Structure 1
Amino acid sequence: MNLNPYVNIHTHHVGEGINVLDVGEGKAWIEDEKRRGIEEGQEVFYSVGVHPMKLGEIGEDALTCVNDMLCTGRVIAIGECGLDRRSPVCIEEQERVLERQVELGEKFRKPLIIHCVKAYSELIAIRKKMKSSIPWIIHGYNNNEQILRQLLEHGFYISAGTALLNDRSNAFHLLRHVPLNRLFLENDDKTVGIDVIYSVASGILGLTVEELKRVTRDNLKNVFAI
C-alpha cells in the first residue's frame, strides 16, 4: 500500500487507494477480502445503510440487516442514508428511518455518509434534535454557499466528487470554502478515476496531489480511526 494513498470516501466500484464501498442495506455481496488484499494499490472498507430513495422497495427488516452488518469488522460507516424530496416515501417516514440509523451510528460509533436532496433544514434539525456526537459526512456536495455555511456551522464534513470537473458547478466554486480538516473526495457511482478527482481538486485548492492525499488520509484517521 502506498504510504500516501488516495482516499475515496464513497464509491460503488473499487479503484486505487483506500475505498469506502457502498453495499446498500447489507444484502449486497461483499467482495472476498483475501482477493482484495492481493490487488495492488487497493484497500476496501464498507458502508451499509438504507437510502431514502429505496424506502419504498425494502421492508423494515432492512434496518435489522444494517444492524447485523455493523458488527462486521470492515464496515466503518452507515450510509448512504439521509433525506430526499424526490423519494416517493413521505419526508416524515424518511426522517424516522434516518433517526433509527443515527441511533445505530451512536450505538456502534460509526460515522454517517449522508445523501441529502432539498431537505437540508430538516437534516440539520435532526442532527440538533438528536445531539449526535458522531461525524456526519455530506457526500457529493454540489449546493449553494448558504447551505454549505450552515452545514459547516453544525459540524458536518463535506465530500466532493465529479461535480468538480464542471467549472460552473457550485462544488468547483465552493471547494476553497471547505476547511481542509473537514474535506473528503469521492467518485460515487461514476467511472471517473479517483486520481482525476484529486488532480482537479488539488488545482482548485492550490495544493499538490500528494499534499491533498495527506489531508484526506489525516481526516480518514480522525473520523474513522483507521
Structure 2
Amino acid sequence: MIDSHCHFDFEVFDEERAATLSQCAEIGVDGIIVPGTHPKQWPPMLELVVAASTSACGLWAGIGCHPWWVADAAMEEEQESKLTEHRFKERLSHHLNHPRVVAVGECGLDGSRELSVHEQTPVFEWQLQLADEYRLPLIVHAHKAHNDVLRLLSRYNLPAGGVIHGFSGSLELAQQYWRLGFYLGVGGTITYERAQKTRRALAQMPLDSLLLETDAPDMPLSGFQGQPNSPLQLPRVAECLAALRAESLTQVQNQTRHNTCRLFALP
C-alpha cells in the first residue's frame, strides 16, 4: 500500500520517523507521498525525502503552496502581483525536475479561511499552470469551494490529472471530479458513521478512481480523536473501504496501490 497524502516532514514525526518508516514496511505500507505546503518547507522536505529514498518505505514529494499558507507566502515575495507571480513560479519550478518530486501540490481553495477564495485563486492558478507545463499530477485541497475548483480544473484540463485529497462529498461531486481525470483520496473520514454521504459515494465509485491516504498527522480515524494520525493507520483505512464496498481487502489494497503508481508514475 502507498499513503498518497501524509505530511511526514512535520515536527510531530521527528523523534520516531525512522522507527515509523520501519514499522510501515512491516505492515505493508511501502510508500508515502509527502505534499508541499509552503515555499520555506520545500528544501528541508526534499532533504528528508532523499534521505529516506533507500528505506523499505520510500518517500516521494509534491511541491506546492497550501491555501492556508498563501497569505504567508505572499508576504515573503514582492508586492507587485506580476513580480509575485514570476518569483513564486520561479521558486516552485526550480524543484519540479527533482527525481523524487512526482506532483504539484498540495494546492487548492478553502472557503473556510479568512483569506477569501477570490484572493487564493491566483496562487492556485499559477500551480495549475505549472502542472500543465511540467505534465505533473496535481494534489488538490478543496474545502467549501468545490464549484470554483471544478471550474478551474475544467478550464485547464490538465494532461496528468491529479487527486482530490481527503475527498468528502456526494456521489455526484465524486463523479464530476473523476470525469475531469481526478482521483479521490480516501482517508479517515470514512471511518466515521456520521459521514454517510461520503461513505455512500466512495462505496459506489469505481475502485479504479480511489487512492488511500492518511493526511497524517491530521484527520485521525474514528476512535483515535485527539491523537496525531500516522501512516501506520493506512491499513485501517483500507479495511474500512473494503467493508464499505463489500470487496476483499487484498483487492482494495492492490488496486489502490496500482492507481497511486499510475497517477504519480511511481516504479
TM range (shorter): 0.7 to 0.9
- SS of the equivalent of 1:181 reads helix
Q: 1:21 aligns with which of 34, 56, 66?
A: 34
Q: Per the alignment, do residues 72 and 202 of structure 1 end up closer, same or farther by CA in structure 2, a change over 3 Å counting?
A: same
Percentage of matched positions with identical amino acids: 23
- Residue aligning to 1:3: none
Confirm or deny: 8 A CA contact 2:167 2:186 kept in the other structure.
Answer: yes
- Residue aligning to 1:201: 241
Cα deviations by residue, 1:190-213 (Å, 9 ceiling, x for unpaired): 314111111111221222222212
- Residue aligning to 1:156: 182
Shift of 1:35: 4.7
1:6-155 alignment runs, 5 A limit: 6-13=1-8, 15=24, 16-28=29-41, 29-30=44-45, 31-32=47-48, 35-37=51-53, 39-40=55-56, 42-59=57-74, 60=84, 61-155=87-181
Confirm or deny: 8 A CA contact 1:8 1:19 kept in the other structure.
Answer: yes
Stretch of structure 1 that moved more, 184-193 or 156-165:
184-193
The amino acid across from 1:19 in the alignment is: I
Cα distance in 1 for partners of 2:94, 2:263 equals: 22
- SS of the equivalent of 1:58 reads helix
- SS of the equivalent of 2:107 reads strand
Shift of 1:64: 3.2
Aligned residues: 220
More strand by share: 1
Confirm or deny: 8 A CA contact 1:159 1:186 kept in the other structure.
Answer: yes
Cα deviations by residue, 1:133-159 (Å, 9 ceiling, x for unpaired): 221210101112332232233332111
Confirm or deny: 8 A CA contact 1:158 1:184 kept in the other structure.
Answer: yes
TM norm structure 2: 0.75
Shift of 1:62: 4.3
Q: Which runs of 5+ in 2 are unaligned?
A: 9-20, 75-83, 219-228
Shift of 1:33: 5.1
Q: Does 1:225 align with 2:251?
A: no
Cα distance in 1 for partners of 2:49, 2:148 equals: 38
- Residue aligning to 2:81: none
Cα distance in 2 for partners of 1:165, 1:97 equals: 33
Cα deviations by residue, 1:6-56 (Å, 9 ceiling, x for unpaired): 11111112643211012323532224456524544x111011111111111
TM norm structure 1: 0.88
Alignment RMSD: 2.0
- Residue aligning to 2:15: none
Q: Which runs of 5+ in 1 are unaligned?
A: 1-5
